[in-house]
């Protein structure tokens, strides 16, 4: 089972890297989402894949011989919530940026660090 997971993680991380390196912000968001999920799967595999029995002790017993590891599940759950909220924020930010700037290409986003300024606002800052 583990090799399958690892291949899946590799494919996801590779695709994510490809998407993140493109200059289109929409692709970058998809890349972020994929990368986040690859990280979640990594967390899951790190906790070892074994039994899928729920880690709950039945009423008539005091210990549990074998069960799934609950910790990675807790970690993944937390990470999913966090990465989802951050991606939602990013999408809103990009929509707002697109509304104001009318660009999706990050190379053309030069408001904060202008390449060739016509005004003499920051003479030496022009060459970055």
Partner 1 sequence: MISSHALLTLPIAAPLVGLVLTTLFWRASKLQRFASLTASLVFLWSAVALLSNTIDGTILATQFGSWDAPFGISFVADNLTSAMVLITAIMAVVIAIYQLTDPEEDSRPMFHPLYHGLLLGVTGAFMTGDIFNMYVWFEVMLISSFGLLVLGGTKEQLDAGVKYVMLNLVMTTIFLVAVAFLYGATGTLNMADLANRVPAIENPGLVTTLAVLFLLAFASKAALFPLFFWLPASYHTASTPILAIFAALLTKVGVYAIVRCFTLIFPVTEGFATIIGVIAALTMVTGVLGAASHFDIRKILSFHIISQIGYMLVGVAIATPMALAGSVLYIVHHIIVKANLFLIGGVIKRKTGSYQLKQIGGLHRAAPFLAILFCIPALSLAGLPPLSGFWAKYLVIKPSLDAGSWYLAATALIVGVLTLYSMLKIWNEAFWKSSATPEFAAPLAPNSSFAGQYIAIATLSAITLCIGLNPEPFVAFSMEAAAQLSDSSRYINAVLENPYARD
| Alpha carbons 109 and 98: distance in angstroms, whole number | 10
Minimum distance from residue 82 beta carbon to partner 1 (Å): 5
Q: Considering the complex, state which of residue 53 and residue 84 has its C-beta at the smaller distance from partner 1.
A: 84
Nearer to partner 1 (CB atom), residue 48 or residue 54:
48
* Distance of closest approach, residue 76 Cβ to partner 1, in angstroms: 9
CB of 19 to partner 1, least distance (A): 11
**Long-range contacts of residues 26-35, Cβ cutoff 8 Å, at least 24 apart:** 26/94, 26/104, 28/106, 29/87, 29/90, 29/91, 29/94, 32/83, 32/87, 32/90, 33/83, 33/87
Query: Can you give the binding site for partner 1, defined by CB under 8 A?
Result: 20, 25, 28, 32, 35-36, 38-40, 42-43, 45-48, 71-72, 75, 78-79, 82-83, 85-87, 89-90, 93-94, 96-97, 100-101, 106, 109-113, 120-125
As measured in angstroms, the least distance from the Cβ of 103 to partner 1 is: 9
CA distance 111 to 101: 9
Contact call for residues 70 and 55 (beta carbons, < 8 A): yes
Q: Name the residue nearer to partner 1 (CB basis): 60 or 81.
A: 81
Q: Which DSSP symbol is given to 109?
A: -
Which residues on neighbouring strands pair with residue 105, listed in sequence order?
Answer: 24
Rank residues 51 and 78 by Cβ distance to partner 1 and give the closer one: 78
């Amino acid at each position: 089972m583990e090799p399958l997971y690892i291949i899946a993680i590799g494919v996801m991380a590779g695709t994510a890297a490809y998407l993140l390196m493109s200059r289109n912000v929409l692709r970058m968001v998809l890349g972020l989402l994929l990368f986040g999920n690859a990280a979640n799967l990594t967390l899951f595999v790190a906790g070892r894949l074994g039994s899928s029995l729920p880690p709950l002790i039945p009423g008539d017993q005091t210990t549990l011989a074998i069960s799934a590891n609950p910790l990675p599940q807790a970690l993944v759950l937390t990470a999913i919530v966090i990465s989802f909220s951050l991606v939602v924020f990013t999408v809103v930010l990009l929509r707002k940026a697109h509304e104001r700037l009318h660009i999706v290409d990050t190379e053309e986003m030069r408001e904060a660090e202008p390449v060739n300024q016509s005004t003499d606002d920051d003479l030496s800052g022009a060459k970055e």
